[in-house]
Structure 1
Amino acid sequence: MTTIDPPRFESGRPRRGINWEKWGWIYMRASGVVLLVLIFGHLFVNLVAGEGVKAIDFAFVAGKLADPFWVVWDTLLLWLALIHGANGMRTIVNDYATNPTVRRILLGAIFASTAVLLILGTLVIYTFDPCPVVPADQLDMLPSFCPAQ
């Protein structure tokens, strides 16, 4: 007869430390609920409210990123979605990559790509300049709220 250790036991001994799998599972559920609100709010504002998809241009994006509310909204959307996706990919790798070396390489690639995308995405959101310096013949391309240079 084969016995299975209780979940809090590993090799017949109680497991010590933080249960990262449990917290990853909880994160996936909590972030999924918050992401539903963030994504549908994003889609509603961008595609339904106002003039719809035809109104999305540089000025629309610049106007949104000039408002601190939308900066926080987009930052939350970026971070939660990327970490949620990376955690899902981590779970898939842990389930299907049987070779420990391949698993380590894949998990490292997931971590590295997630870190790079989080850094770059956050930099774009927080350093976006809606009124860049442009040549005089292209001033008509600036959003209406930018002062003439």
Structure 2
Amino acid sequence: MSQTIDAPRTPAYPNRSKGTNWEKWGWIYMRASGVLLVVLIFGHLFVNLMVGDGVHAIDFAFVGGKWSDPFWQIWDGLMLWLALIHGGNGMRTLVNDYARSRGLRGTLKIAILIAVVVLIVLGTLVIFTFNPCPAGAPADLLPSICKGI
């Protein structure tokens, strides 16, 4: 009795339909977003902790001043989006590796997707609609940075 061993590059599922390989694109995204996140995070830490008075300068006025500049809004928004999608994709990979039943896997992946989408929407709204000095607000409720405006 002889047994044939498949060639090393033989697909595990030869009848699989030809379509988009989402696992490959997820893998590529993790590498690309990881490199970009390192740059964004270290830039964020450098500006917040090393420039000026460092950590002692971080307060409401610092964030208000930073987010009044579109450059920093885009920087922080990009960091938020990349980090949440990167983390969600990592969690999806863990679910695929460790969840045994198909139903549990699907439920967990839907929960991850909902959490990522909600956090991206809320975080993006905060970054791009943040106004430390809203018009018509009572003066006693406004922060000190708004007194001269």
Which ranges in structure 2 are unaligned for 5 or more consecutive residues?
Answer: none
Give 1:110's aligned residue: 112
Q: What is the correspondence of 1:110-149 to structure 2 with a 5 Å cutoff?
A: 110-132=112-134, 133-139=136-142, 141-143=143-145, 147=149
Which ranges in structure 1 are unaligned for 5 or more consecutive residues?
Answer: none
Give 2:59's aligned residue: 57
Structural RMSD (CA): 2.0
Q: Alpha-carbon deviation of 1:30?
A: 0.3
Contact kept, 8 Å, 1:71 with 1:125, in 2: the verdict is yes
- Evaluate the alpha carbon distance shift between residue 146 and residue 35 of structure 1 in structure 2; reply closer, same or farther with a 3 A threshold: farther
Q: Alpha-carbon deviation of 1:33?
A: 0.3
SS at match of 2:145: coil
| TM-score under structure 1 length normalisation | 0.88
Which structure 1 residue ranges, 4+ long, deviate > 4 Å from structure 2? none
TM-superposition CA deviations, 1:111-133 (whole Å, max 9, x none): 00000000000010111112135
Q: What is the correspondence of 1:1-149 to structure 2 with a 5 Å cutoff?
A: 1=3, 2-3=5-6, 6=9, 9=11, 11-13=13-15, 15-132=17-134, 133-139=136-142, 141-143=143-145, 147=149
| TM-score under structure 2 length normalisation | 0.88
Q: One-letter code of the match for 2:35? A: V
> Percent of pairs identical after alignment?
59
